[in-house]
Amino acid sequence: MRERAEYRYARERPASRVLYEKACRAMPGGISHNIRHVRPFPFYVQRAEGPYIFDIDGHRYIDFWMGHYTQILGHAFPPVIEAVTKFISQRGYHFGLVHREEVELAQLVIELVPCAESVRFCSSGTEAGMYATRLARAYTGRRKILKVMGGWHGASTDLTFYIHPPFNGMDSLGLPFNEEAPVIPVPFNDMEGTLRAMDRAGDDLAALIMEPMVGAGGFVQPSREYLQGIKEEIERRGALLIFDEVVTGFRLALGGAQEYWGVTPHLATLGKVLGGGFPLGAVVGPRDILALSDGTKGNPPVLIGGGTFSCYPLSMVAGLKVLNYLKENASWLYPLLEERGKRVRAITEHILLAHGINGVVTGTGSLFAVHFPKGEVNVSSPASLAQNEDNEKGHLFRLLLLNAGVFVVHGGGSISLRHDERVLDRYFEALSQAVQGLTR
């Protein structure tokens, strides 16, 4: 079946195939972000609008990837296009100097995110994670960082550990560490295991960084007790809790996962939705900790460089448009996304089971992922999920869905405001069609 699905996929995308061959001669693997590869070759995007992407071979897909989950209001959100176009035509696009919109966005983030008293912007979620661990080390005067097995915080040198199963250490060659790597793995949702990891760090424990709901590791939900227990324990040990809210921020609730589960971390990292579809990251937290990066009085103890594109005006303008829209419409928008997410998870699982397929759907709010375990599965952590995941079935599922006009990553993705009932019904139809290929 896989050969048939791949054959059809390839036959219907001749222009993409040609472009991919050129890409392979210009870039390693033909890509610049590993997750963007699709076997046997990726389709090339022409444009995106609302819940859809369109490829250069003339196909339209219902998109659940939504620009790495950035587009909570749908692709090409008209107010963002209007604001960005106006900004460019009237004011230019990059100054490398301070401007009004960065102040307004910082104020809005402080208003919306519970742990945010102060904001330092950078250009990506990866940088934000790197800077947050740096701040935590400087603030505590300690070195060890705890990180969830299967957690993803970007590919910074500080956090490229225990990302992919079997979670046995560094996830890249070229890192400047020996066996004494400064990162210790933590099993998600396992308080005893987490306490053991804290003990291992001893009095050198600077921080635990975690996605409150693990994203790339399989959209695994935490229990509130686990998050609260960690917060109390980490405080008792004089260390910091960092929530990586790059995916969950402004997505699960206006105040992110910390509002959703009612547990406020010491520091948080933000990205994705924050920039309204443009590149942006931020570290947020208490004023006294963030103040370590204040360079106005001389050399700051913590260098948060920000970068050439820090507070990039178009990211600020787009971020302001999206966050203000979310704020003004939060009372109906988040319950609606939550309800759509529940419906998608329930019906997806139902369709899989009705066809006799051992599929498990995870996720929270407007996020969902589909897993194909080889037997029984425990969905409490990325490690337990990864143990017997049938990756080949996942690949076939994705191809079958592509051939039916739906694009997913990790079997699912994110639901935007533009994924209305009609679009979701069309997805369920495509899914029913696709899973028939899985049973053959």
Ligand X SMILES: Cc1ncc(COP(=O)(O)O)c(C=O)c1O
125 binds ligand X, rule: CB under 6 A: yes
Size of the site for ligand X (CB under 6 A): 16
Q: Minimal distance in Å, beta carbon 415 to ligand X?
A: 17
If one asks whether residue 369 binds ligand X (CB under 6 A), the answer comes out as: no
- Which of the stretches 58-66, 191-199, 243-251, 361-369 binds ligand X when contact is defined by CB under 6 A? 243-251
The residue at minimum Cβ distance from ligand X is 125
Judged by CB under 6 A, does residue 148 bind ligand X?
no
* Total count of residues recorded for the chain: 440
| Pairwise CA distance, residues 322 & 316, whole Å | 10
**What does the DSSP 8-state code read for residue 93?**
S
Which one-letter amino acid corresponds to residue 354? Answer: A
Instruction: By CB under 6 A, tell whether 382 contacts ligand X.
Output: no
Q: Which stretch binds ligand X (CB under 6 A): 124-132, 224-232, 300-308, 394-402?
A: 124-132
* Cα dihedral 284/231/241/161 (nearest 10): -140
Rounded to an integer, what distance in angstroms lies between the CA atom of residue 322 and that of residue 133?
28
Binding mask 150-189 for ligand X (x = CB under 6 A): --xxx-----------------------------------
Q: Does residue 247 belong to the site contacting ligand X (CB under 6 A)?
A: yes
CA angle 254, 268, 227 (to 5 degrees): 85
Q: Is residue 340 involved in binding ligand X (CB under 6 A)?
A: no
Print the binding letters for residues 197-236 with ligand X: x by CB under 6 A, - otherwise. --------------x---xx--------------------
- Minimum CB separation of residue 248 from ligand X in Å reads 8
Q: Are 156 and 127 in contact (CB under 8 A)?
A: yes
CA 112 to CA 354: how far, in whole Å? 42
Q: Could you give the CA distance from residue 74 to residue 51 in angstroms, rounded to a whole number?
A: 6
CB nearer ligand X, residue 80 or residue 216: 216
**Two structure tokens written together for 113:** 């995110």
Omega before residue 212 within 30° of 0, cis: no
State which residue, 227 or 430, has the beta carbon closest to ligand X: 227
Nearest to 102 by CA among 267, 268, 318, 325: 318
Of 55, 158, 244, 259, the one binding ligand X by CB under 6 A: 244
CB of 266 to ligand X, least distance (A): 17
Q: SS3 for 385?
A: helix
Helix, strand, or coil here: 225? helix
Residues that bind ligand X (CB under 6 A): 68, 124-126, 129, 152-154, 211, 215-216, 244, 246-247, 271, 281
